[in-house]
């Protein structure tokens, strides 16, 4: 939705060694990684990042924190001088420390106001689904958020 509203390039972060498919196994692994400060290796390689002035960072809340793969990205790539706009999905308990971590890992970037939305509750087997009335509601919230920052592309 954001990409449709502002344009730009979408990049999905992929890991060298993907997380397990079982939800509880992922939770255990991420908890371990957070406790140890481990940053998983990224398979994704982003070229020409210097050509972008604005970077939207989207991530879910995992254990009330930013997921380790996003921390890997922010550690690997220098976003100094860029405008960074975080957005987040969560299971209803908010962004946790995720937006604070963006600020910590991007000290020389301008960080704009973040957007957070409740998605699914994975532990209950309800994955993030954006359809029907929920999609319309979130779309309207996103448009308002982007307008506040003057980031909607011209139609």
Q: Is position 91 within any domain?
A: yes
Alpha helices, DSSP H, located in the chain: 2-6, 23-36, 68-76, 98-105, 132-148
Q: Is position 108 within any domain?
A: yes
Q: Is position 32 within any domain?
A: yes
Q: Is position 153 within any domain?
A: no
Count of the separate structural domains present in the chain? 1
Distance of CA 13 to the CA centre of its chain: 10
Distance of CA 26 to the CA centre of its chain: 17
Measured distance CA(146)–CA(134) in Å, rounded: 18
Could you tell me the residue range of the domain that residue 69 belongs to?
Answer: 2-148
Q: Is position 154 within any domain?
A: no
List the CATH number of the domain containing 12.
3.40.50.360
pLDDT (tens digit per residue) in 101-133:
999 999 999 999 999 998 766 656 655 567 778
Q: Is the model's pTM score more than 0.85?
A: yes
What confidence score (pLDDT) does residue 123 get? 59
What confidence score (pLDDT) does residue 27 get? 84
Q: Is position 12 within any domain?
A: yes
Q: Is position 65 within any domain?
A: yes
Task: Name residue, tokens 């532990």.
Answer: 123
Q: Which residues of the chain have pLDDT under 70?
A: 120-129, 154-155
Q: Which tokens go with 134? A: 């929920």
Q: Is position 16 within any domain?
A: yes
């Amino acid at each position: 939705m954001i990409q449709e509203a502002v344009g730009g390039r979408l990049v999905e972060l992929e890991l060298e060694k993907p997380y397990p498919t079982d939800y509880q196994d992922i939770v255990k692994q991420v908890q371990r990684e957070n406790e140890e400060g481990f940053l998983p290796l990224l398979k994704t390689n982003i070229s020409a990042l210097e050509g972008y002035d604005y970077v939207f960072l989207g991530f879910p809340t995992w254990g009330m924190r930013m997921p380790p793969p996003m921390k890997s990205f922010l550690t690997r790539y220098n976003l100094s001088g860029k405008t960074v706009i975080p957005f987040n999905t969560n299971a209803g308990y908010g962004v946790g420390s995720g937006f604070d971590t963006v600020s910590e890992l991007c000290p020389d970037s301008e960080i704009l106001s973040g957007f957070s939305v409740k998605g699914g509750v994975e532990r209950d087997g309800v994955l993030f689904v954006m359809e029907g009335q929920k999609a319309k509601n979130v779309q309207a919230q996103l448009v308002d958020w982007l307008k506040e920052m003057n980031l909607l592309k011209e139609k």
